[in-house]
Every structure is written in structure tokens, then in C-alpha cells.
Amino acid sequence: QTIHQKDYQVPDYLVDTVELSFDLSPEDTRVLSRLAIRSNHDRSSGVRPLVLDGEELTLLSLKLDGVELEQGSYRVDDSCLVLPDPPERFVLEVTTRINPKENSALSGLYASGPMLCTQCEAEGFRRITYFTDRPDVMAVYTVTLRAYRAACPVLLANGNLVEKGDLPDGRHFAVWHDPFKKPSYLFAVVAGDLVHIADRFTTMSGRQVQLEIYVEERNKDKCEHALRSLMHAMRWDEEQFGREYDLDTYMVVAVDDFNMGAMENKGLNVFNSRYVLASPESATDDDYQAIEEVIGHEYFHNWTGNRITCRDWFQLSLKEGLTIFRDQEFSADMQSRPVKRIADVKSLRSAQFPEDAGPLAHPVRPESYVEINNFYSMTVYHKGGEVIRMLQTLLGREAFRAGMDLYFERHDGQAVRVDEFVQAMADAGKRDLSQFMLWYDQAGTPVLTVRDEFRAGDGSYTLTVTQSCPSTPGQPEKKPFHIPLVMGLLDRAGAELPLRLAGETEPAGTSRTVELRQETETFTFVGLKERPVPSLLRNFCAPVKLDYPYRDEDLDLLMTSDSDPFVRWEAGQVQAVKLIMGLIGDIQAGREARVKESFIESFRRLLCDDRQDRAFLAEALTLPTESYLAEQMQVIDPDAIHQARELVRATVGEQLAAELSAAREACAARAPYRPDDGLAGCRRLKNLSLSYLMAAGGQQAIDACMAQFKSADNMTDSLGALSALANCACPEREEALASFYQRWRDDRGVIDKWFILQAASRLPDTMDRVLALLDHPDFDLRNPNRVRSLVGAFSQGNQVRFHDAGGRGYRFLGDQILRLNGINPQIAARMLTPFSRWRRFDANRQELMKKELERILAEPGLARDVYELAAKSL
């Protein structure tokens, strides 16, 4: 059944304190819960029943104010426990039994390797004990954990450790108290045979905080980077937002089996181990950056999520969009800001834009859901982050910061809506943001159509900007959005022109933000001598598509001269898209396809430009992905896309072989690898050059690859070579893959990469390979990272092989989703994404994909998660 935002009602009962006591054991854990409950409704017009959520629980005992309740005075079924007529205030004691080992859904309390851990967001707490499992019921928790000391020497929960000691029979206990009121989704416990590394952090007001990262013994030397990232994040939040940490300890635990990236449980974050563990030999530069980002993300949630939480799950973006924005800004400050921005835009365009254009499109604040876990989406997270960024652009940094301060001041300790956040911004910025709220409630990616006119007579230049937004499910018509458009004008020599709007006496700089509110807006700039080139959507100031008829020479000019790095990069991407689209047309029409000389020349110029940042250059020299190209087509033709893009890659590799080799040389390591040696950009450029040389073919490139593979002292270079080899039909490929496996067979994180490389290989035999890997002893459908590495990498990262016209890829994915349905519904649902895009393909592929969706929907016992997405996709 569907839950609607408009049906929200305040809770009938509140819980002030929760005392939990766990007797932990993998197959039989007992949970005693003692809840101080009080009525929160007008009882004079009738007493409402108390409804507690509960799933997969065995109820062992139930007491109200110390008295065991008789059968018949309450009701239990498989989703709740109901007391029809409870008193105004009372203490309820509930004992339940759960089986963590059998919990393959990884929601609630479950076993992962040598430990027991929890994941409660969004609705996992109800799988531990009966509770009003909704974020607007906030309570103070005290937790007692008991377990055998030998199996579980470490016992952790939220907050501060208040007591610990021994019990008879080799058991021991620990008592934790979290002084901050919190919703149940932030509850966490971890118990197991773990070790930790620690450090101390002194907050801006001089308090000492103990930082601890818990891992399995064998991973103890892989936590340094996570710990350092945590300290950077804590300092950054103090400096940028004035936010200080509020408990005496901050704990992070790495677990191998985890549905998502990580979880911000108060004082006790639980992380997917891939976002904690790193060593130079086993982690890439990208891994290091991802760890910094996710560590930052979960830390920033302490204020944006925990101190101020969501009233209900429709408000999810209140904490997620805001925290994504904060982690993006943190990473931008730790690394290259332009390169980070480009990476974020690429991921938005390749994953969120398609979501927003398909049958699963939903607003940043959805109006309804069947299963909330399906809405931890690119839209809620990343478009939500863009919406926050637009607020900062509209208000300016200073007023935005004042709005943040006001938000914290007004709502600390509360569970609120998106409206409260935007109101704080409106008040601080003295702005009317009512139209801006449409970003939260209307789905779809707006398109800005820009046309211009230069009048030589009076030196005026008029930009006409028309916005439109395609219809999305349930929203046929859209109202115009309030959009900041950051822009500039360049003269033919590439100089930035002063921007003076008609009616203004002084120009206001060379970059400015104009605001779009009406469907069509015009802006007339005056004082110009010649037709300028417009630089639009600087820094990707809004999550929109831009339609402006740039000529090739305009793009060349922007690419070399614009002051905004995003615009420089984008100009190159637009050129590449134009080129490849032309080639696709040629291929489809059976014409000879040839790469324009001018394109190769612009790549040559870039490669020889040694003033530019290497990381930025690497981005500029990277072609749009096959899936981004697919987005640009009316009917997606995966084969033609692949062929055209490979043709460009091979041509670049052939014609620029000398320059590419020189770039590799220039970037060759001069010193042993350090993750933070500032040479990550260099390594990226070097590995990109290698992949172009490999695309051109020839034994020389293969030898270079093998040489790098064998001599690499770090995973970035090792994987750079291996991924090029994985796409090469040569004997060296098997040799390298086999030796890589032998070397790393005991490192789960690296073996995940080994699966990914093979699943993402563009070689024609990939489907067979993937099928064989399903039976590999290291493949495990119960481990989400492994599923993502094989099933996900193939179906979401290998367009040309997954969309095989015979339908083998589709059948494979359908099969795996059905198997996963019975194991882990959240992961099964995540794997459905490629099928939701079926309408974008030709009739044959449409038929085949629809058949799979129908087959899935016909499955008896389909999980709610899978059902919702499959049904909406059809």
C-alpha cells in the first residue's frame, strides 16, 4: 500500500526514554525493551490505540507498568503490536527474540563476518524490537549489551560508555547512554571481535574527543586515511559552518556486508568497509577520495540529520541533499575544486538525469512511496544537493551561512520539514523563496533554451531564456522554476566583458547571476562592440539541460579562454558529443565514419598544454561515457554508440601516439607512491593516455601495459594497466587477470575490483565470462559489494554488452533479481534500474526488457521494494 505525504499525522504516543538490554548471540538474541510512553492526543474525544511497528520478531513477553499483559488485551501480527486502550502514561516492557544470522536483508540486527551490527535507517529498528519506528518520535536511549567475551570482546552502542564488567560463564556487559534525544533510525549497536585505532581531536572550544575506528584485526593497518579524513572533516565543519562535535567519543566501524555506503548513527557510524579501508597497494586514488568524502558525509550528518532530523521520510532530502552539498564542498576544499565539481556533474548527468526522465522520476520531496528504501535515490540525494547549491548561489555565501546558522538556532533538537530549512534561508537572505520550493515538489529536469540577438546599431545584446520541463509520472504540467543562471560574455579574443544590463549605470563585474522566474525571461546587455560569445551555466549553477546553438568556434573559444573551469570542460564535452553523434549517424546509415581533424587537433593542443592542472586535463581529455551519449539519442543504439566512441578513442590513440607517450613519460612516478602526494592528477592522465594507446592497438601498447602492471607500486597504476588489458583480446589479458587474482585473493576489496574489471569489459565474450563468474567460489549473492561488482558492474556499467540484442543480458539480470528478492530486497530493487529505462530502446529490446519485468512481477512472494519499482517501470 502507498503512503502519502498529505496523510501525515502527529504521533498519537511519544516515547521519552528507551532502555534496551540485549543478550547477544548470532542465532538467538533476546531484546528487552523498556519504554516510557505518554499519550500525545486529545483523549477526551476517545483514546487511540498504541500501534508499535515490528517485523520478523518473536514476542516473548509484554508488561504494562510491571504487569504481564494477558492474551486478548493486545494484538500482534507480522507488522505490528497493538494495545487498544492504553493509559495516559505508562511503562511498557517488551521482550523479543531475533535471529541475526538469518537476517540476509541486512536491515535491523545482522551478522557480518565476526560481528553483529545494525542498520536501522529507514525502518530497521522495528526488526529489533516493537517501536513507533518513525523519525518524529525522539527519545533518550540507554543500552545494555551482554555477550560472551571470547566471541564478542567489543560491545558498542551510541553515546557514552557508562559501565562495563564481567558476568558469570565467560560473559561480560557494557552499558551505553546517549544523552541526545534521537529517532530510532539513528540507533546502533556493534558487537564482535574487533580491534581499533584511535586518536584525539580538540574541538574549537577546547574539548577533547576520542576518535576510534573499529575493524577486523587483519585490517588494522588500513585505517589511517579514514582517521585523518575524520579529523579534517571535524575541523572543516568548525571553520566553514561553526559546528562542533558534541559527544566525548566518535566511533566508526567497518563492516563487509552493508547495503549502502555508510550510516550516521549517533556517535557510532557503521560503514561499508570499502569506505574505510585503504592502503597504497590495495586502494586507488579514487578510493582514497571516496573514503574522505563518505567519512565527511557521515560526520556532517551529526548536525544536518542528527541534531536536526526529518519529521517524516518525505523530508529525506532535508538531511541528505544538505549533507551531500556539505560533503561536496568539503571534498572541493580538500582537493581540486573544479575537478570535484566536474565529477559531481558527471555523476548527476549519468545517473540522476535518466532517473528524472524515466518512469521512476520523483520530486526531491516525493509525494508518495510504497517502500521508503526505494527513495534513497540520486534525485533525493544529488539533485537535492544541487537544490541547496542553488540556494547558496541565489543568496550569496554570506547570507547562505547566516541561513544555516538560523536553521541550527531555530531547530536544534527537532524533527522538521524541508519548509523549515527554506524558511530559515528566506529569513536570513530576506528573500521570497516560495517559487523556489517548486524544486522540491516538481520532478523532471528543466531545459533552458537560450537564444540571442546582437544589435550592432546600439551595441546591445539580448539573451532570451525560455524554460520548460517535461512531464513526469503524475505531473503532466509544470510551473516555471526559480533558477539562478550564472553567466558571462566573452569577446572574440576571449576576454571577459564587463556586464552592464540595460538601465544600469555601472557594469557589475564579468560574471553575474541572473534569476529566471517566468517561463521566458530576457536580459539585455549594453555597451558592446561586437557580438559576444555567451558563457552560460557557469559552475553548473542549476541542474538543468542547456540548449544554445553554439558554433564550433564559440566552443573553441570557451574551451581555451573562459574563466570558469566547468564551462571550459563543458565546451569540450559538447564538441565531443557533436562529433560522436555525427559518427553514430554515419554508422547507422552505413556511411564511412571518420574523426574530424579539428577534433584531434584540439586534443593535441590540450595534451601539449603544460600550464593546466593534470587532473583537469585528464577530465578534458575524457570522452563522454556511452551512457551519457545514450541520453542524447531519441532511440538508444548501444552498438553504434560503442563503435563510434571506440573509433574516436582509436583515432586519438593512433594519431596522438607520440603526445600520449610523452604525457605518460612526464607523469611517470619520480618517488614512491603516497596517496596525498598531489600526483593523483598525474596518475589519472598517465592511465588515460595508456588507455588511448591501447585503443589504437599494437603489441607496443600491450607491452607498455604489462610493464606498468608488473612494476606498479600502487593500486591506481596497477588497476590502470589491468583495466586496459581487460578490454584487450590478447593472451596478456588472462595472464594479468590470473596473477592479480593470485596476489589479492585474500583482500575482499581488491577482489571486488577484479570482478568489476571483467564485468565491465567491452570484449564480446563478457556475458559468458559473467555467467562463469557467478559460479566462482568468491562470488556471493549475500554480499552486496560482490553483487554490485558483478551484477551491477555488468548491467549498469557495460551498456553495449548488457544490451545485447539477443536478450541474454536481460535474462541474466532478471534471474539475479529474482534470486536476490529472497535474500536482500533492497539490493534486488537497486538492480532493477537498467530495466526502468526500457522505453528508450528499439522495439526488439523493449519487448525483451518488458518480458523480464513481467516475469519479475509474476513471481510469488515478491518483496515490496522490488514490486514497487518493477510495477512503476512497466
Q: Which stretch binds ligand ARG (CB under 6 A): 109-117, 254-262, 410-418, 817-825?
A: 254-262
Q: Which stretch binds ligand ARG (CB under 6 A): 260-268, 447-455, 742-750, 796-804?
A: 260-268
Give residue for cell 525502518.
123
The Cα-based distances of 321 to 230, 364, 392, 478 in angstroms read: 20, 9, 13, 22
How would you label 542-552 residue by residue, b for 16+ Cβ within 10 Å and e otherwise? bbbbbebebee
380 lies in the site for ligand ARG, by CB under 6 A:
no
Return the one option of ligand ARG, Zn ion, none that residue 262 interacts with (CB less than 5 to 8 A, by type).
ligand ARG
Task: Kindly state the smallest distance separating residue 372's Cβ from ligand ARG, in Å.
Answer: 7
Task: Kindly state the smallest distance separating residue 260's Cβ from ligand ARG, in Å.
Answer: 4
Task: Kindly state the smallest distance separating residue 239's Cβ from Zn ion, in Å.
Answer: 21
Long-range contacts of the stretch 602-606 (C-beta < 8 A, 24+): 602/556, 602/559, 602/572, 602/575, 603/652, 603/656, 604/656, 604/659, 605/560, 606/572
Return the one option of Zn ion, ligand ARG, none that residue 259 interacts with (CB less than 5 to 8 A, by type).
ligand ARG
53 lies in the site for ligand ARG, by CB under 6 A:
no
Task: Kindly state the smallest distance separating residue 6's Cβ from ligand ARG, in Å.
Answer: 23
* Count of residues near ligand ARG by CB under 6 A: 13
Residue 301 burial class via C-beta count within 10 angstroms: exposed 0-12, middle 13-18, buried 19 and up: buried
Identify which of residues 25 and 373 has a Cβ nearer to ligand ARG in the complex: 373
User: Which position among 241, 376, 408, 741 is part of the footprint of ligand ARG (CB under 6 A)?
Assistant: 376
Identify which of residues 25 and 259 has a Cβ nearer to ligand ARG in the complex: 259
828 lies in the site for ligand ARG, by CB under 6 A:
no
Task: Kindly state the smallest distance separating residue 373's Cβ from ligand ARG, in Å.
Answer: 5
Task: Kindly state the smallest distance separating residue 748's Cβ from ligand ARG, in Å.
Answer: 21
Return the one option of Zn ion, ligand ARG, none that residue 336 interacts with (CB less than 5 to 8 A, by type).
none
User: Which position among 194, 262, 268, 694 is part of the footprint of ligand ARG (CB under 6 A)?
Assistant: 262
Identify which of residues 227 and 310 has a Cβ nearer to ligand ARG in the complex: 310
Residue 228 burial class via C-beta count within 10 angstroms: exposed 0-12, middle 13-18, buried 19 and up: middle
Site for Zn ion in 317-356 (CB under 5 A): 320, 323
259 lies in the site for ligand ARG, by CB under 6 A:
yes
Q: Which stretch binds ligand ARG (CB under 6 A): 64-72, 110-118, 255-263, 503-511?
A: 255-263
Judge whether 590 and 584 are in contact, CB under 8 Å: no
Which residues, in sequence order, are bridge partners of residue 499?
Answer: none
260 lies in the site for ligand ARG, by CB under 6 A:
yes
Identify which of residues 81 and 122 has a Cβ nearer to ligand ARG in the complex: 122
Task: Kindly state the smallest distance separating residue 384's Cβ from ligand ARG, in Å.
Answer: 11
How far apart are the C-alpha atoms of 278 and 223, rounded to whole Å? Answer: 7
Return the one option of Zn ion, ligand ARG, none that residue 263 interacts with (CB less than 5 to 8 A, by type).
ligand ARG
Identify which of residues 294 and 486 has a Cβ nearer to Zn ion in the complex: 294
824 lies in the site for ligand ARG, by CB under 6 A:
no
Map residue 594 onto helix, strand or coil: coil
Cα R_g (the chain), whole angstroms: 28
Tell me the HSE value of 192 on the side-chain side, using a 13 A CA sphere. 24
Return the one option of Zn ion, ligand ARG, none that residue 328 interacts with (CB less than 5 to 8 A, by type).
none
Task: Kindly state the smallest distance separating residue 265's Cβ from ligand ARG, in Å.
Answer: 9
The Cα-based distances of 783 to 108, 642, 747, 779, 834 in angstroms read: 16, 31, 14, 8, 20
121 lies in the site for ligand ARG, by CB under 6 A:
yes
Which residue in the list 298, 329, 570, 631 is annotated as catalytic? 298
Q: Where are the alpha helices (DSSP H) in 223-369?
A: 224-241, 285-300, 316-334, 337-347, 353-356
The Cα-based distances of 740 to 133, 718, 721, 724, 727 in angstroms read: 46, 9, 11, 14, 15
Neighbours of 56 (CB within 10 A): 17
Q: Which three cell numbers stand for residue 267?
A: 556517535
Return the one option of Zn ion, ligand ARG, none that residue 350 interacts with (CB less than 5 to 8 A, by type).
none
Per-residue x/- track, 783-822, ligand ARG (CB under 6 A): ----------------------------------------
Per-residue x/- track, 293-332, ligand ARG (CB under 6 A): ----xx---------------------x------------
Return the one option of ligand ARG, Zn ion, none that residue 373 interacts with (CB less than 5 to 8 A, by type).
ligand ARG
How far apart are the C-alpha atoms of 639 and 627, rounded to whole Å? Answer: 12
In eight-state DSSP terms, residue 379 is I
Query: Which strands make up the sheet holding 195-202, listed edge to edge?
Result: 195-202, 208-215, 249-255, 268-272, 262-263
264 lies in the site for ligand ARG, by CB under 6 A:
yes
Q: Give the closest residue to 136 by CA, choosing from 70, 82, 183, 75.
A: 183
Return the one option of Zn ion, ligand ARG, none that residue 376 interacts with (CB less than 5 to 8 A, by type).
ligand ARG
E-state strands within 510-653: 512-516, 520-525, 533-535, 545-547
Which residues, in sequence order, are bridge partners of residue 489?
Answer: 534
Neighbours of 59 (CB within 10 A): 15
Judge whether 828 and 790 are in contact, CB under 8 Å: no
Identify which of residues 323 and 393 has a Cβ nearer to Zn ion in the complex: 323
263 lies in the site for ligand ARG, by CB under 6 A:
yes
* Count of residues near Zn ion by CB under 5 A: 2
Task: Kindly state the smallest distance separating residue 375's Cβ from ligand ARG, in Å.
Answer: 9
Task: Kindly state the smallest distance separating residue 263's Cβ from ligand ARG, in Å.
Answer: 5
Give residue for cell 574489471.
757
Identify which of residues 118 and 323 has a Cβ nearer to Zn ion in the complex: 323
How far apart are the C-alpha atoms of 295 and 279, rounded to whole Å? Answer: 16
Identify which of residues 279 and 289 has a Cβ nearer to ligand ARG in the complex: 289
Identify which of residues 260 and 791 has a Cβ nearer to ligand ARG in the complex: 260
Task: Kindly state the smallest distance separating residue 364's Cβ from ligand ARG, in Å.
Answer: 15
User: Which position among 32, 51, 98, 122 is part of the footprint of ligand ARG (CB under 6 A)?
Assistant: 122
| N-term to C-term CA, the chain | 18
How far apart are the C-alpha atoms of 581 and 221, rounded to whole Å? Answer: 48
Identify which of residues 328 and 573 has a Cβ nearer to ligand ARG in the complex: 328
Task: Kindly state the smallest distance separating residue 308's Cβ from Zn ion, in Å.
Answer: 14
How far apart are the C-alpha atoms of 808 and 800, rounded to whole Å? Answer: 12
How far apart are the C-alpha atoms of 538 and 285, rounded to whole Å? Answer: 27
User: Which position among 373, 377, 622, 651 is part of the footprint of ligand ARG (CB under 6 A)?
Assistant: 373
Which residues, in sequence order, are bridge partners of residue 524?
Answer: 462
Task: Kindly state the smallest distance separating residue 79's Cβ from ligand ARG, in Å.
Answer: 18
454 lies in the site for ligand ARG, by CB under 6 A:
no
Would you call 386 a catalytic residue per the annotation? Answer: no
Q: How many residues does the chain have?
A: 874
Q: Which three cell numbers stand for residue 627?
A: 551512457
Identify which of residues 178 and 865 has a Cβ nearer to ligand ARG in the complex: 865
Q: Which three cell numbers stand for residue 646?
A: 571506440
Judge whether 841 and 848 are in contact, CB under 8 Å: no
Identify which of residues 264 and 637 has a Cβ nearer to ligand ARG in the complex: 264
Identify which of residues 323 and 708 has a Cβ nearer to Zn ion in the complex: 323
Residues that bind ligand ARG in the complex, under the rule CB under 6 A: 121-122, 259-260, 262-264, 297-298, 320, 373, 376, 826
Residues that bind Zn ion in the complex, under the rule CB under 5 A: 320, 323
Catalytic site residues?
298
